[in-house]
Chain A
């Protein structure tokens, strides 16, 4: 039997939703316990976490040794404290400067530190449009590369430092940031060139993209480190790091070109037509109408390429440059610390994870910010 309706038709009041569908309880019910399968999966996951997390915590934190002079020392300290030997972070601590600066002369490392902060300051106005004094900041960002190069390799009043002294995270950042910053404009230009009406330009762009994509990065790095010497006139020196930077940038720009092309193709033809009909010139319509939309669509792909490039910088190890992985392997050769490879790789992994995760989050932030429709 139904209860009597107490309101006139069309005047039903808004009621709050049932309490078990909102808040934390609602979330748990809706996401973790909403079907038999999900309940089983939830229980299994909790059990797996129980198996994994406590030992991991012990290894990373509780049983870890922070101060020691060798691996045996580590073991002895752990034994004295009455627990099994966890991570011997002391090793990382002792080698920390090598991981950060490579073989950069100790007396000049302040330059690397300043360069790092200048880089952050230059990125800030470029990446965030709510940055204070953004206009001045963008001019500073344009100038920053010159300052950074000057700080890092010296000259003009600073002690010159050879690029073969670069290593560790410094090297990763130099390769990653240069590759990312330079390859984006080249990639966009290649993508536009590939769609050009001018056959010569189009063929050159397609040829370049397909050639670079068809060759492994390692091959290009080998070419950079050895074969270029055959082509260059004898006696010329051409900085190895610079060659690597060029190769990495070209490699990345070919991939970016294809990502951007995908974005360009997703823009309806009507957009170009509307821009044309209004009398905008080709470059105006690209800059104001097409590229902002195409790049927005391409953000996930672009950031994906950037992350790939950043991690591929570890490949330079095979041509004798010491990135963090190379440093780690070199450190493991030390008999005092032999056998501590887990610590090294976990440490390097954390470094890469932080950088790459930051890029991924920034890409999400950007996508959200640029979302204008429904």
Chain B
């Protein structure tokens, strides 16, 4: 099975049917300017410049240790950058906690290891942030939670604990949990890397649907099939730098940079 086939046909058809909706607007939503980050003396991110427009679906790929996760973690300040600017929806990320809170309210994140809260039910996981961050009344928050759990197709699991679900189900709960805050931007940090092969599809389907609705998405992933069908831009990183940035067709068919070619030849070889 090639990776391309892991994305279901209906989802792709849906995506293509709604292609007009997927037009990227010219409204800037994330601006990263000359950004550098160090871990101690280790220079992880070097001179990152990136503009993201509303509605874009960007896939970030690259060898492990290239700084791709660190980059998207800088966007919601899970990591602090030391130089340069990151502006998300007109809010600049600084040490100001108010700004950080404002950005985190707009930006949802999905992690490689789901990071669901094991002591809370699926429903409580989803309703938690609306209740405590947005002060939504509990009943209303649970309604919202059920709405998104239905969208990721697991409403029947609402009262279970995360430990009772499969990996794919857990990741879908994690996506629903982020959506409950109605974010304008979604960050995906290798959302399918910890999943068994047969569960990757169910998670990718949810992500494709999300893209179809015009969500701005930044996705670190090794799913090249997903990149080809969903992304409007692919970014290749290596050793903390953005090496190449292109639309997916150009990127896969005609990679410009030597390192990109090497990377693609390695991951597409089998």
Contact = CB atoms under 8 A, between A and B. Distances in A.
Interface in B78-120: 78, 101, 104-105, 107-109, 111, 113, 115-119
A138 interface: no
Interface stretch (A49-57, A68-76, A287-295, A302-310): A287-295
A159 interface: no
A268 B194 CA distance: 16
A273 B115 CA distance: 8
B119 A292 contact: yes
B230 to A, nearest CB: 22
A270 to B, nearest CB: 4
Interface stretch (B126-134, B207-215, B232-240): B126-134
Contacts of A281: 101
Looking at chain B's contact residues, is the secondary structure mostly helix, strand, loop, or mixed? mixed
Task: Choose among A270, A274, A370 the residue with the greatest number of B CB atoms under 10 Å from its CB.
Answer: A274
A278 B104 contact: yes
A278 B181 contact: yes
Nearest to B161: A372
A113 interface: no
A277 interface: yes
A137 B164 CA distance: 33
A284 interface: yes
A268 B162 CA distance: 15
A373 B164 contact: yes
Nearest to B102: A279
B137 interface: no
Contacts of A268: 113, 115
A277 B109 contact: yes
A276 interface: yes
B interface, size bucket = 20 to 34
Task: Choose among A288, A292, A374 the residue with the greatest number of B CB atoms under 10 Å from its CB.
Answer: A288
B105 A271 contact: no
Contact of B118 (A273, A288, A293): A293
A79 B78 CA distance: 82
A279 B104 contact: yes
Contacts of A271: 115, 117
A278 B129 contact: yes
B163 interface: yes
A372 B128 CA distance: 18
B260 interface: no
Contacts of B128: 278, 280, 288
A288 B132 contact: yes
A276 B132 CA distance: 12
Given A279-B104, A279-B181, A296 B119 contact: yes
B76 interface: yes
Contact of A373 (B78, B105, B107, B161): B161
Interface in A246-288: 268, 270-271, 273-274, 276-281, 284, 288
B115 to A, nearest CB: 4
Contacts, number: 66
B118 A372 contact: yes
A206 B103 CA distance: 34
Task: Choose among B101, B119, B162 the residue with the greatest number of A CB atoms under 10 Å from its CB.
Answer: B119
A374 B165 CA distance: 10
Contacts of A270: 111, 113, 115
A373 to B, nearest CB: 3
A243 B104 CA distance: 48
Contact of B132 (A284, A292, A296, A370): A284
Given A288-B132, A373-B163, A277 B108 contact: yes
Contacts of B104: 276-279
Contacts of A273: 78, 111, 115
Contact of B133 (A280, A292, A293, A373): A280
A48 to B, nearest CB: 43
Given A279-B181, A284-B132, A374-B164, A274 B119 contact: no
Contacts of A373: 118, 161-164
A171 B11 CA distance: 71
Interface string A340-374: 00000000000000000000000000000010111
B133 A277 contact: no
A292 B107 CA distance: 26
Nearest to B112: A270
Task: Choose among A276, A278, A284, A289 the residue with the greatest number of B CB atoms under 10 Å from its CB.
Answer: A278
Task: Choose among B113, B115, B164 the residue with the greatest number of A CB atoms under 10 Å from its CB.
Answer: B115
A281 B117 CA distance: 16
A279 B128 CA distance: 11
A197 B101 CA distance: 19
Contacts of B111: 270, 273-274
Interface string B45-84: 0000000000000000000000000000000111000000
Given A370-B119, A372-B119, A280 B129 contact: yes
A372 B163 contact: yes
Contacts of B116: 274
Contacts of B129: 278-280
A70 B48 CA distance: 91
Given A274-B116, A278-B104, A372-B161, 7 more contacts: A276-B78, A277-B104, A278-B133, A279-B104, A284-B133, A372-B118, A373-B163
16 contacts: A273-B111, A277-B78, A277-B104, A278-B129, A278-B133, A278-B178, A278-B181, A279-B101, A279-B105, A279-B181, A280-B128, A281-B101, A288-B128, A296-B119, A373-B161, A374-B164
A-B residue pairs, 4 tightest by C-beta: A373-B163, A274-B115, A270-B115, A278-B129
Interface of B: 76-78, 101, 104-105, 107-109, 111, 113, 115-119, 128-129, 132-133, 161-164, 177-178, 181
